[in-house]
Amino acid sequence: MSKKGQTRQQIHHPGTRVERSGIYTCDAGCDHSTDVKGHVFPPLPKGCQAQGWVLLTAAHPE
Ligand SMILES: [Zn+2]
């Protein structure tokens, strides 16, 4: 299942629909985070090398 030995976190690209509200962090390992609530993922901060957002804390775990 693991292709690159990376984590199995799903990357959500900016502009795609948010399926689960919560706090997301960029996948580049810097300290960017965003709190999304059912809309679309925001663009990554300027200069951020990440490909997208990964879930850090779900607002309402099911
Ligand atoms: Zn970042």
- Do residues 1 and 8 make contact, with C-beta atoms less than 8 angstroms apart? yes
In a domain, 44, yes or no: yes
**Residue range(s) defining the domain that contains residue 22:** 9-62
Instruction: Compute how many other C-beta atoms are within 10 angstroms of the C-beta atom of residue 52.
Output: 18
In a domain, 25, yes or no: yes
In a domain, 21, yes or no: yes
In a domain, 1, yes or no: no
CA of 26 to the centre of ligand 1 (A): 5
Residue among 46, 50, 6 nearest 27 (CA): 50
CA of 24 to the centre of ligand 1 (A): 11
Tens digit of each residue's pLDDT (9 = 90 or more) over 28-44:
999 999 999 768 999 99
Residue among 20, 26, 9 nearest 59 (CA): 20
Does residue 59 register a pLDDT over 90?
Answer: no
Number of domains observed in the structure of the chain: 1
CA of 52 to the centre of ligand 1 (A): 9
Q: What is the pTM of this model?
A: 0.78
In a domain, 3, yes or no: no
CA of 28 to the centre of ligand 1 (A): 5
CA of 42 to the centre of ligand 1 (A): 12
In a domain, 23, yes or no: yes
In a domain, 18, yes or no: yes
Q: What is the pLDDT of residue 2?
A: 45
In a domain, 4, yes or no: no
